[in-house]
Chains A and B, each alone.
Chain A
Amino acid sequence: GAVVSQHPSRVICKSGTSVKIECRSLDFQATTMFWYRQFPKQSLMLMATSNEGSKATYEQGVEKDKFLINHASLTLSTLTVTSAHPEDSSFYICSAHRTGIWGTQYFGPGTRLLVL
């Protein structure tokens, strides 16, 4: 089956620093990727839709200047959490839509971010 990877799997950083998370589709091309955030004991919340070659589309309430998304190729999207604060600590998950299989997305294993 299709594989999506994320790197790093876990990161601890100091408050005020920026953290970049990579999402790669390993065996298929993805024109669209999605970024989710999940707090403990809660469901996944969609943050933004990442479109290859164009600007990301952010969900209401998500600060685009704080969560920078770049989708420079058909297999890579990155999420940069800028000036991270403790409230940004969360589980960040990406997914990739595989063209031709409507509605089916393949999810990465997630990145756990802890901001001290």
Chain B
Amino acid sequence: DAKTTQPNSMESNEEEPVHLPCNHSTISGTDYIHWYRQLPSQGPEYVIHGLTSNVNNRMASLAIAEDRKSSTLILHRATLRDAAVYYCIPPPGTQGGSEKLVFGKGTKLTVNP
């Protein structure tokens, strides 16, 4: 099964960009990379996903390395509300047709005012 590696924590200042790295050197060529985040005392929420090329949505951008062994989640202007644990999720496993997500420890992002 593919695995991911993320830094335990990162800090940023408000209004500045944040680059959250993730290593996933064992994913296959057809595996998507998903990012979720969990705000304090809430359930996780989907952020973005991608396969090969860079992806943008209203929450963030995802830059995927050409060799697909790593990716970076980019928050263009961090706000205090972006303080959360960010999870880079390896491709869902399959069991009986379902798609399990396995959460690692993620990166705890602290945003300073």
Binding site for B on A (CB under 8 A): 4, 6, 32, 34, 36, 43-46, 49, 51, 57, 91, 93-95, 97, 102-110, 112
Output the least CB separation between B52 and chain A (Å): 15
The answer to whether B98 and A106 have CB atoms under 8 Å apart is no
Alpha-carbon separation in the docked complex, A110 to B101 (Å): 17
Tell which of B44, B98, B105, B106 touches A107, judged by Cβ atoms closer than 8 Å: B44
CB contacts (< 8 Å) of A6 on chain B: these are 43
Please, what's the 1-or-0 string for B77-113, where 1 marks a CB less than 8 Å from any CB in chain A? 0000000010101011001111111111110000000
CB contacts (< 8 Å) of A94 on chain B: these are 43
The answer to whether A43 and B103 have CB atoms under 8 Å apart is yes
Known: A95-B43, A102-B32, A104-B49. A46 touches B98 (CB 8 A): no
Binding site for A on B (CB under 8 A): 32, 34, 36, 38, 41-46, 49, 85, 87, 89, 91-92, 95-106
The answer to whether B99 and A97 have CB atoms under 8 Å apart is yes
The answer to whether A108 and B43 have CB atoms under 8 Å apart is yes
Tell which of A4, A51, A105 touches B96, judged by Cβ atoms closer than 8 Å: A51
Tell which of A4, A36, A49 touches B98, judged by Cβ atoms closer than 8 Å: A49
Alpha-carbon separation in the docked complex, A80 to B42 (Å): 20
Tell which of B42, B45, B105 touches A43, judged by Cβ atoms closer than 8 Å: B105
